[in-house]
A and B are shown apart, each in its own frame.
Chain A
Amino acid sequence: MTKIAGLHLERPFYSPADVAELAGVHPSTILNYIRDGKLFAIRLSERTYRIPARAVLRLLAPEQLRSVRSIDLPETRADEWLAELRAEHRRGRSST
């Protein structure tokens, strides 16, 4: 698959036909990529696939992607989070 420099996507989701047009290949090539796990898509119905914009970029313009941002948390964060969960749980139960 040829990479595309400066690919600008305007929509959050694409169909296999859309991606095929962007890539200049036949839609069946895109369906094969989905089947082989090279392109992420969700099958909404027998004939409908939806491909997120970021998966399109991963396939056609990976250099444009932001890499995963890693952030260190303080050691106490796990206990704080568990306390927050318990508080939300109590509030939820009282309003259910």
Chain B
Amino acid sequence: MARGTSRGAPPRPVVDLTIVLDEHQVEQRKATIAAKLEDLGDVSALDSPRARRRRLIDLRAVAPGADLPALALFQYREAFERRADSWQLIAYTYELHDRGRGGRRAYHWHDDSFHAHCLEPDARGTSHYRAVPMEVFEAHDEFARIYLGGGPIRCGDLRPALIG
């Protein structure tokens, strides 16, 4: 999806985020994401498969699972819109919440805006950061690395969003 750039800013890479899936492919995508999450925690899969116009898929894992106290929540949500006999991705939120220390890192796409939210432990409010289009598996790898690294969520590598 092509994104505009402000004067003087380097051109953004064009990332095609057009994801159109038939019913079977949506189920496959759900199963693949759930399988990845199952390595990290106890998984819930929420879906509105009988929706006619818009469908929300909400996959979450409470880590570490295995009857241990919760340390993190991974939550990946995607909204799809009906296109004839298929579903087109129209929005997503991929989120990691630190349940022990606090903190949140998230990548959002909705209303033509790609952005990140990040909150370090003990910080307040919700801060917007710049982000590029991201596939769920890319976000998952990043979140898994943060979680398994064992440290707190940090935001220093993100750039504040431009107001406008």
Contacts and interface: CB of A to CB of B under 8 A. Distances in A.
Given A73-B46, A75-B50, A79-B54, 7 more contacts: A44-B145, A50-B148, A50-B149, A55-B39, A68-B45, A69-B43, A71-B44
A2 interface: no
B47 interface: yes
B126 A88 contact: yes
Interface of A: 9-13, 40, 42, 44, 50, 52-55, 57-58, 64-66, 68-75, 77-79, 81-82, 85-86, 88-89, 91-93, 95-96
Interface of B: 34, 38-56, 58, 63-66, 68, 71, 77, 79-80, 91, 93, 108, 110-111, 113, 115, 117, 125-128, 144-145, 147-150, 160-161, 163
Contacts of B50: 72, 75
A66 B42 CA distance: 7
Contacts of A9: 66, 68
A96 B65 CA distance: 35
Nearest to B61: A54
